[in-house]
Amino acid sequence: MTQTRGGSDRFLIALGSNIAHPRHGTPSRVLSAAFAALRADGHRVLATSPVIATVPLGPSRRMYANAAALIESALAPLELLDRLQAIEASFGRTRRSQRWSARTLDLDIVLWSRGVWRDRRLVIPHREYRKRAFVLIPAAAIAPDWRDPETALRVKHLLARLTRRPAPPKARAPQGAGPIAQSVEQLTFNQ
């Protein structure tokens, strides 16, 4: 492992798979093997989430297995990205021009303990993670209190915002119901 700075940083990694692998098996087993590959690559895996099944985005028709890992690494973000892409390639991932296509393994850097990173190859925090329950549910299972460096919201709060249901609409008196029916909403009972 190349040490680029003193000490190690933490990274939240999102994992996804929707194609079985000839050696590892089903997509959920692919993710288990990916956790092991992160360890074998020299990263300290601090926590792994449960694997969840999710519907695909875009043209893919296969269900996804998704999870998250909290890792510690001495690599800089771009070096880590290169290592994650090498792990993806070792699982048979090929990068195509079609976005959201089926894949054996997808590893994305979602958050970094040093905050924000932006260049042409990598943006941290991941641009879309706040809108994706399949990222936030596993992330909240292992890093609920990690604060988004741009919104200052915790992962658990981002998930709550994304998944909350709107309040049911207030009942209204039918139009033209007359003053007595309309004033029922205004009644209070004093005991």
The pLDDT of 5-17, averaged and rounded, is: 87
Catalytic residue (choose from 5, 9, 62, 103): 103
Is 108 annotated as catalytic? yes
Would you state the pLDDT for residue 95? 63
Is 148 annotated as catalytic? no
Q: What is the pLDDT of residues 133-187, one digit of tens each?
A: 999 999 999 999 999 999 999 999 999 999 987 767 776 655 655 554 444 344 3
Is the full-model pTM beyond 0.85?
no
Q: What is the pLDDT of residues 41-83, one digit of tens each?
A: 999 999 999 999 998 776 667 789 999 999 999 999 999 999 9
Is 103 annotated as catalytic? yes
Q: Which residue has the higher pLDDT, 97 or 43?
A: 43
Would you state the pLDDT for residue 130? 93
pLDDT of 118 strictly over 50: yes
Catalytic residue (choose from 83, 108, 130, 148): 108
Would you state the pLDDT for residue 174? 58
Q: pLDDT band at residue 103, thresholds of 50, 70 and 90?
A: confident
Catalytic residue (choose from 83, 106, 130, 148): 106
Q: Indicate the fold that domain 9-158 takes in CATH.
A: Alpha-Beta Plaits (3.30.70)
* d(C-alpha 186, C-alpha 184), whole Å: 5
HEC profile of the chain: CCCCCCCCEEEEEEEEECCCECCCECHHHHHHHHHHHHHHCCCEEEEECCCEEECCCCCCCCCEEEEEEEEEECCCHHHHHHHHHHHHHHCCCCCCCCCCCCCCCEEEEEEECCCCEECCCCEECCCCHHHCHHHHHHHHHHCCCCECCCCCCEHHHHHHHHHCCCCCCCCCCCCCCCHHHHHHHHCCCCC
The pLDDT of 91-111, averaged and rounded, is: 76
